[in-house]
Amino acid sequence: MLTESTRRAEQAVSRTKVDAGDYFIGIVREGQTLRILDLEGNQAADTLFYSAADPAERYSAVDTIREQGNLYLTTGSVLRSSENRPMLEIVADTCGRHDTLGGACATESNTVRYDLEKRCMHACRDSWMLAIAEHPEYGISKRDIGHNINFFMNVPVTEEGGLTFEDGISAPGKYVELTALMDVVVLISNCPQLNNPCNGYNPTPIELLVWDNE
């Protein structure tokens, strides 16, 4: 569902540009709103959320899908934790659909899907691993890396139940906004994938904006 935001960029308390292939890790407090902005279009932002109080509690695609009765994420979707508690709610969305089924790219899946030579190519899982290694203060370890959300990525489900990676439906300036319902750690890999159309074969930067509770 397409919903525009009334929040103004100049009132944001923080603005962070994340280059193509880089990661972001940081805390969004309960009541704050995070906008993920697709600056140049057709970019995939592979995202994980954790409870800042206890990272063992994390985003759960299974609980989110079951509770909302729909496979796609958009305005009104409440992202649920592995304890089935509400973590964040999508409050604005100018893209209209975000995937939580396709998973993140890894060097292993790149070799299976594309070619053995792709093994050395940079993948989202590497970016997450680098983020948690460089930021031990969040208490997140390799075992905490679970299923994720691919903001702006288009993975339609076929009538037969199949998953297909399709051309993106995002465009320059499209965004999704989420209000935190608990203090959360946000971990994003701005996807470096070059082998499928999830980011138009051309990884580009995103911007993260945060507003305080109104």
Contact positions toward Zn ion, by CB under 5 A? 105, 124, 191, 193
* Beta carbons of 204 and 22 less than 8 angstroms apart: no
Q: How far is the CB of 181 from Zn ion (least distance, A)?
A: 27
Nearer to Zn ion, 25 or 180 (CB): 25
Nearer to Zn ion, 149 or 180 (CB): 149
What is the rounded end-to-end Cα distance, in angstroms, of the chain?
23
* Beta carbons of 60 and 151 less than 8 angstroms apart: no
Nearer to Zn ion, 46 or 93 (CB): 46
To which residue do tokens 């680098």 refer?
Answer: 130
Q: How far is the CB of 65 from Zn ion (least distance, A)?
A: 21
52-61 burial string, b = 16+ CB within 10 Å, else e? beebebbbbb
To which residue do tokens 């031990």 refer?
Answer: 136
SS3 188: strand
Q: How far is the CB of 101 from Zn ion (least distance, A)?
A: 14
Q: How far is the CB of 137 from Zn ion (least distance, A)?
A: 25
Nearer to Zn ion, 95 or 105 (CB): 105
